[in-house]
Amino acid sequence: MLVCKHSVKVTLERAACAALLLLVCGFTVAQDRVKLATQIWTPYQTVDQNGTIGGVAVDRVKCTMQKMGRPYEIHVMRWDKAQLMVETGHMDGFFSGSTNSQRATYATPSSPVVSEYLAWFIAPSVTQDLDDETSKYNLRYGAKFNTSKWLFLKRQGYNVIKKPRDADALLQMLWQGDLDVAYEYELVFEDSLKKAGIPLDYFKKVRLKKQDLMMHFSKNFLSETPNFLERFNASLEKCL
């Protein structure tokens, strides 16, 4: 019989000015813990006032690992560090993220943990049609800095002028008139709107596409644990 005990350990990384929260699931079966990294990204990955890690994506990952009978750890840190830790072999996987060419060099994605719409959120003062090619250069665009969304805008030639650290900062830039258009996942931005007390319909919203967000496992980890990804995907399907 498997017995799972959860505990949360909180430390402060002074150099990075970020908290590291550790969720450990220990089983009586002797197996190496699968070390997973993530970021605080409501409503997908959250940490409450008691230091408890939760959210839609976290709950699905926890359910999946438990159905697999694998002990695991979830570390919360900056998003760029989460990816670097997997790339350098200090973590086995990170979530939740879309696929891109850089991540594909060192990690393999799972089946989608979450599927969510990406959308433009447009300031009320903007009258230009975003389908007009010139809007890419005339308007001021923003997305969370150094994410796939931010890099996509840069590569496509959009006029990206800010480097917000998260969706809350992105919203404030749009709200204060420093940006004309924000590019973010629908539920993430709407969560920021609710926290700020701004009506959900204050900004015009244009849905673009539905994006899959996955767990990305280190290729080295998968090579050392045959059939792990297949078992993870099969268990994840039961947790959606």
Distance CA 176, CA 189 (A): 15
Residue-averaged pLDDT of the chain: 89
Q: Yes or no: say if 94 and 38 are a contact pair by the CB < 8 Å rule.
A: yes
CATH topology of domain 34-115+212-237: D-Maltodextrin-Binding Protein; domain 2 (3.40.190)
Distance CA 47, CA 49 (A): 7
Q: Is the pLDDT of residue 22 over 70?
A: no
Closest to 97 in 3D by CA, of 84, 113, 81, 85: 113
Would you say the C-alpha torsion 97, 144, 78, 193 has a positive or negative sign?
negative
CB atoms within 10 A of CB 67: 16
Distance CA 209, CA 13 (A): 37
Tell me the per-residue pLDDT of 169-221, one tens digit each, with 9 for 90 and over.
999 999 999 999 999 999 999 999 999 999 999 999 999 999 999 999 999 99
Average pLDDT over residues 34-51: 93
| The pLDDT value given to residue 61 | 98
Measured at the CA of 235, the angle between CA 229 and CA 240, to 5 degrees, comes to 120
| Domain boundaries of the chain, sorted by first residue | 34-115+212-237, 124-202
Tell me the per-residue pLDDT of 152-180, one tens digit each, with 9 for 90 and over.
999 999 999 999 999 999 999 999 999 99
